[in-house]
């Protein structure tokens, strides 16, 4: 979530890189748009855990209600305190945030979760060779070919790469003893860093030799980005297990952090009007300011979401469970 926040700091901060004379700041703004690493990791983690889990329709409802809560809650706040911010929006879309694609990630992820029991049937019942052949085909079509050529066979869609990454995460869970998934954290961390540096080098290269957009290797299904995310995922998987009540408590709100700060109404108000990101384009304090802004937004949004869980989610679902059991 921190990588996604940092990405949004740059992408939605109103920066014009043509006006940034400081090369370090320019590449920082261009390169920090790597929130897709966080997205890919989230889907890999989902596949890893959900492949062995039972599907819960209430979980789907819970996710949709959380999206709706922030969509309507922020709409109401804007209507009361900043009505001018609603000028360019269709109000109806805020009542159907998932269907209208208000949050592209949630629209895709909720569909993925709804499909997960069917995907799990395949994962848990297909022979290992069949599963590996399927993964090889999907990774070729939706990762390798688009990276090498800029094209794919059946069109680009976020659900296709989400399903591919979900299958990959589930495969790691089902076949952890495969030699490629050795317990070496250092090896995967090294590959992750190499991919990360390669993407940075591509940003610099394409900025000077514009044969491709500088974001070419920063897309959700770019081979170096997928490999970077996968190795980061394996690094975490192979890290000695520990449990932290505080980390788990904070982790329960990372989705809320996303739904608050990336709301289409709040997004420009936050990054451009409140924090004035673009005004730091040539400042020597840009990187420090970005870190402080990202951490500050994360903390505030986490507190807001913890209050939502305490005051709304827990009482509502306690009531539903109590009446459902009677």
Pick from 169-173, 240-244, 263-267, 291-295: least confident: 240-244
**DSSP code, position 240:** P
Largest CA distance in the chain: 68
Q: What is the mean pLDDT of the chain?
A: 91
What is the rounded CA–CA span in Å between residue 43 and residue 34?
Answer: 15
pLDDT of residue 87: 84
- What's the whole-model pTM score? 0.92
Tell me the average pLDDT across 175-199.
85
Extended beta strands in 88-191, E state = none
Asked whether residue 56 carries a pLDDT value surpassing 70, the answer given is yes
Average of pLDDT values for 221-227?
95
- 236-239: long-range pairs with CB below 8 Å, 24+: 237/48, 237/172, 237/181, 238/182, 238/183, 238/184, 238/185, 238/188, 239/185
pLDDT band at 155 (very low <50, low <70, confident <90, very high): confident
In Å, what is the CA distance from 146 to each residue of 16, 225, 228, 307? 28, 12, 17, 43
Q: Which of 51-60, 303-312, 313-322 has maximum average pLDDT?
A: 303-312
The whole-number average pLDDT for the span 31-47 is: 91
**Higher model confidence: residue 77 or residue 322?**
77
| pLDDT at residue 151, as a whole number | 84
| Burial class of 301 by CB neighbour count within 10 A (0 to 12, 13 to 18, 19+) | buried
Residue 255, pLDDT > 70, answer yes
**Res. 301 pLDDT band, cuts 50 70 90:** very high
pLDDT at res. 129: 94
Query: Considering only CA atoms, which of 96, 116, 103 is closest in space to residue 43?
Result: 116
Q: Which pLDDT does position 326 carry in this prediction?
A: 54
Q: Which two tokens stand for residue 94?
A: 């805020």
């Amino acid at each position: 979530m921190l990588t996604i926040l940092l990405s949004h700091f740059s992408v939605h901060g109103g920066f014009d890189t043509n006006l940034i004379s400081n090369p370090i700041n320019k590449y920082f703004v261009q390169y920090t748009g790597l929130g897709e690493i966080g997205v890919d990791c989230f889907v890999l983690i989902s596949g890893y855990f959900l492949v062995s889990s039972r599907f819960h329709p209430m979980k789907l409802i819970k996710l949709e209600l959380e999206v709706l809560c922030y969509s309507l809650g922020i709409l109401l706040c804007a209507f009361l305190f900043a009505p001018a911010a609603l000028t360019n929006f269709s109000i109806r879309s805020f009542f159907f945030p998932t269907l209208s694609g208000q949050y592209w990630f949630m629209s895709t992820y909720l569909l993925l979760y709804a499909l997960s029991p069917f995907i799990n049937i395949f994962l848990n019942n297909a022979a290992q060779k069949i599963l590996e052949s399927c993964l090889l085909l999907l990774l070729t079509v939706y990762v390798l070919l688009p990276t090498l050529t800029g094209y794919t066979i059946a069109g680009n869609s976020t659900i296709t790469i989400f399903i591919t990454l979900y299958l990959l995460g589930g495969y790691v869970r089902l076949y952890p003893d495969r030699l490629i998934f050795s317990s070496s954290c250092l090896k995967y961390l090294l590959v992750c860093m190499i991919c990360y540096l390669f993407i940075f080098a591509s940003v610099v290269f394409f900025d000077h030799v514009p044969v491709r957009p500088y974001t070419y290797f920063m897309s959700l299904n770019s081979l170096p980005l997928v490999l970077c995310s996968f190795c980061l995922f394996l690094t975490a998987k192979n890290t000695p297990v520990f449990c932290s009540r505080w980390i788990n408590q904070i982790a329960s709100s990372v989705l809320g952090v996303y739904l608050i700060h990336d709301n289409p109404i709040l997004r420009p108000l936050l990054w451009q009007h409140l924090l004035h990101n673009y005004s730091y384009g040539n400042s020597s304090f840009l990187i420090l300011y970005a870190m402080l802004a990202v951490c500050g937004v994360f903390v505030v949004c986490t507190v807001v979401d913890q209050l939502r869980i305490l005051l709304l989610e827990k009482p509502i679902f306690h009531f539903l469970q109590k009446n459902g059991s009677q």
